[in-house]
């Protein structure tokens, strides 16, 4: 069965096609009785407006692309929730894309979103200085970095990850730990590098503390469990007594490995994660974590994008930086 056209709606309602268009797009200029007649015709025929055609005529859709590292990570889910909440309020849709920390996959998503003439792009990029991002902006599509700091030419919302690393390191040192492991990766990812730099700076100020580094390719539960098994198998005298992991998924897998090896948390191994996802507080041993305001990051990124879309040539790029908080729970709360 063919989809009813706007012309058929107009004929049934006894009005012009232009009047139907006004009811769909500017209903306040149409008389109430006429508007009701058109709406009754739309309902009777089952007419559905063709948004794609309308956007094609306008040259821009009402869709915003959101590219994140890992849709399985609740941190990025919360970012998406924040962005979508504001998008919904502005009659805009969010299209979620998963880069899996892969440059090639990220580039594919960028190409597809630009070809779709999206209203704008929110992205947690592998490289915040990637020239293709500014090139997209130069071609007319606004781009806002999420959980990243832009040096120039782009808006961004981020968290002071070096401060987060310092908070975790200071806490572990103050609770008596002198052999600490940092686990994260890839180290080339800016957030990971910043968190590592933060804890490194704190350790360097304490002459009697050793810090070892363990790089993983993916920051997931499985990878955390694998590195946990490796450290748990070490003799006690050469095993670190605390670990700071670059996200909570790694930390939860690491916690599982400690339990499986019969090591007590935090007595034998203290653990601090990063992000403070909901699962952190619900773990068998509630997980200490550096909290990021994930939903606020998403909402703020969408606000910056809306500003850039509405202001056009008069827009001035802004970098919004939030402060993290350390949430101490049972996984690291015992003084040694």
Predicted pLDDT of residue 219: 94
Can you give the pTM of this predicted structure?
A: 0.81
> How many Å separate Cα 71 from the centre of its chain?
9
DSSP string, 8-41: HHHHHHTS-HHHHHHHHH-GGGS-HHHHHHHHHH
Digit-by-digit pLDDT tens for the chain (336 residues) are: 567 888 888 999 999 988 988 888 778 889 999 999 999 998 888 887 765 555 544 556 789 999 999 998 999 999 999 999 999 998 899 999 999 888 999 999 999 999 888 999 999 998 888 999 999 998 889 999 999 988 767 999 999 999 999 999 999 999 999 999 999 999 988 999 999 999 999 999 998 999 999 999 999 999 999 999 999 999 999 999 999 999 999 999 999 999 999 999 999 999 999 999 999 999 999 999 999 999 999 999 999 999 998 886 788 889 999 999 999 999 998 776
Say which residue the tokens 């919360």 belong to: 78
Predicted pLDDT of residue 2: 63
Say which residue the tokens 């909901």 belong to: 278
Q: What are phi and psi of 193, to 5 degrees?
A: -60, -40
Predicted pLDDT of residue 172: 98
């Amino acid at each position: 069965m063919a989809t009813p056209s706007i012309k058929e709606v107009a004929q049934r309602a006894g009005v012009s096609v232009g009047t139907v268009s006004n009811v769909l797009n500017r209903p306040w200029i149409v008389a109430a009785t006429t508007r009701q007649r058109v709406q009754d015709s739309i309902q009777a025929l089952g007419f559905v407006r063709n948004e794609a055609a309308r956007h094609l005529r306008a040259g821009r859709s009402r869709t915003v692309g959101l590219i994140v590292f890992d849709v399985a990570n609740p941190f990025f889910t919360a970012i998406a929730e924040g962005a979508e909440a504001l998008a919904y309020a502005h009659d805009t849709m969010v299209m979620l894309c998963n880069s899996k920390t892969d440059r090639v996959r990220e580039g594919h998503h960028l190409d597809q979103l630009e070809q779709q003439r999206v209203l704008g792009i929110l992205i947690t990029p592998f490289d915040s200085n990637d020239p293709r991002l500014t090139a997209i902006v130069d071609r007319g599509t606004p781009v806002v970095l999420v959980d990243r700091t832009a040096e120039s030419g782009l808006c961004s919302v981020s968290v002071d990850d070096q401060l987060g690393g310092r908070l975790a390191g200071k806490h572990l040192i103050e609770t008596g730990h002198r052999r600490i492991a940092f686990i994260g990766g890839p180290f080339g990812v800016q957030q990971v590098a910043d968190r590592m730099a933060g804890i490194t700076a704190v350790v360097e100020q304490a002459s009697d503390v050793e810090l070892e580094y363990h790089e993983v390719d993916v920051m997931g539960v499985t990878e955390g469990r694998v590195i946990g098994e490796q450290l748990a198998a070490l003799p006690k005298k050469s095993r670190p007594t605390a670990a700071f992991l670059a996200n909570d998924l790694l930390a939860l897998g690491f916690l599982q490995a400690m339990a499986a090896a019969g090591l007590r948390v935090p007595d034998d191994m203290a653990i601090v994660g990063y992000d403070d996802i909901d699962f952190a507080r619900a773990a068998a041993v509630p997980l200490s974590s550096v909290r990021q305001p994930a939903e606020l990051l998403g909402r703020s990124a969408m606000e910056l994008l809306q500003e850039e879309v509405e202001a056009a040539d008069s827009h001035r790029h802004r970098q919004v930086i939030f402060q993290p908080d350390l949430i101490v729970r049972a996984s690291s709360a015992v003084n040694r």
